[in-house]
Chain A
């Protein structure tokens, strides 16, 4: 099965329920969307991420936060793409939310008030990427020692040798 090209046109993607609902609720929160390999990714405005998640959880049955992670696209800006994977167990549907933040302003609102399960995942992103989560109850390193310098999963952090 050859790969279908990715769709990024919002009008075409309106057939996808979570995106359509989100555009109806607050179009200013949606910065873009992409359907690739049958997975829907929605780029969300950083300030709106908490409200978007609350809306998706309460109105769209996305009851389960699978995962919070990040990808570092150094040296392009905005550098950090914080990625959230949401799952709707009732609809058997997944959606990926993405928040892009720059190197000098790497702060994202924490999702812990909505899903307490975001706790460890956000701590891990903070530990390994240095992205801060505003409103997190206990934002400390989780994998690396407390006195570690640097954030190992950043692309400008070498795989081997000395820093």
Chain B
């Protein structure tokens, strides 16, 4: 990493007199890099000539650790990659393993998963909006966003026991039934949330300073965005109408009606508008999930994979044996490989899981959308001002925990 600065090939850019340019380090401790991202910029005055992202500061070897854990233990690890959207990580991993096993979660579990995923999308976008606005200079939005985010996290705490790393999804269903009155609390939050989004829009959308800072800034074309592998709101902001929830549905998403916001201008403003409209679409899905939530079990009927109910385990010999076997030996998964992609708040989150027939995965690879989105950053920033870099980083909404894993 240190070589980036000392390496002569990063010292000078081809254009212009060489002694005019300067290498500038941004991060890894810079507050607007949203984590521990380091950008090596070659600048001429205030113009960025070249940018080289440097990552790996948060590398924890989660993919290696997976290979030593039982499948049910892996869900906990999945939480810790994209720490702003743990439910999406759980969803991706759990769906991949379910497909390897050839089982499916019952409808009620699928709907609660969708409900939690959309609440998570709201909370993740709230962090994005707050910090993005803060970077650009709008201080107060942050406070409003975190007020609502706290509401969502309290809902997560009530259902999963933790504010963030809930570890609530299980292979074959969910850990527990939702507590009494939980859905009413969600309804109460969801009913007020449309007005809250109006509040954020009042603060930012019509604000001429915010518009000046975002319109036409950090542009990326449709072709470049596709070729660089951008996904999610960053891709939709460039005019590609693609959303995995609608186009390749998983976990009952085909039963929900929602719009996919697309903007064509490809700048920070477009990505802002896409995410603002996604707030409302996600909230619509939450309301539909609440209204049509099916009754029934939350765990699949697969005794060798899903832990038995507590009272059965205490009273029935068979259930006790299954419980003991699953906890001590895990469950074995037939050999094979799957790639399961879901739409996380940042884009296509893919889990490539390879099984060799044992109780531990042979290989798990996570296609983090942030990693691909980060590749678009130099394209967006080169030739623009340093101040625009800050706006651009916010607009691609990266999470370093997912980039480095």
Contact = CB atoms under 8 A, between A and B. Distances in A.
Interface string A70-113: 01100000000001010001001010100000000000000000
A146 B367 CA distance: 23
A143 B59 contact: yes
A88 B68 CA distance: 34
Contacts of B371: 120-121, 124
Given A116-B227, A143-B59, A144-B56, A66 B350 contact: yes
Contact of B227 (A85, A117, A142, A143): A117
A19 interface: no
A115 B229 contact: yes
B352 A85 contact: yes
Given A66-B367, A85-B352, A94-B339, A142 B55 contact: yes
B197 interface: no
Nearest to A94: B339
A65 B229 CA distance: 6
Nearest to B379: A116
A37 B2 contact: no
A24 B63 CA distance: 38
Interface in A23-43: 36-37, 39, 41
A37 B336 contact: yes
A105 B341 CA distance: 32
A20 B404 CA distance: 38
Given A116-B227, A117-B228, A159-B65, A67 B339 contact: yes
Interface string B234-248: 000000101000011
A143 B405 CA distance: 9
B64 A159 contact: yes
Given A69-B365, A153-B64, A142 B102 contact: no
Interface stretch (A1-9, A10-18, A44-52): A1-9
Contact of A67 (B99, B101, B365): B365
Nearest to B334: A3
Contact of B375 (A69, A94, A119, A157): A119
B136 interface: no
A143 B352 contact: no
A141 B65 CA distance: 20
Contacts of A121: 229, 371-372
Contact of B56 (A92, A116, A145, A159): A145
B63 A153 contact: yes
A117 B365 CA distance: 17
Nearest to B354: A71
Nearest to B55: A142
Interface in B102-118: 102-104
A128 B334 CA distance: 26
12 contacts: A3-B102, A37-B99, A66-B339, A67-B339, A85-B339, A94-B341, A117-B228, A117-B372, A120-B374, A143-B405, A146-B1, A153-B64
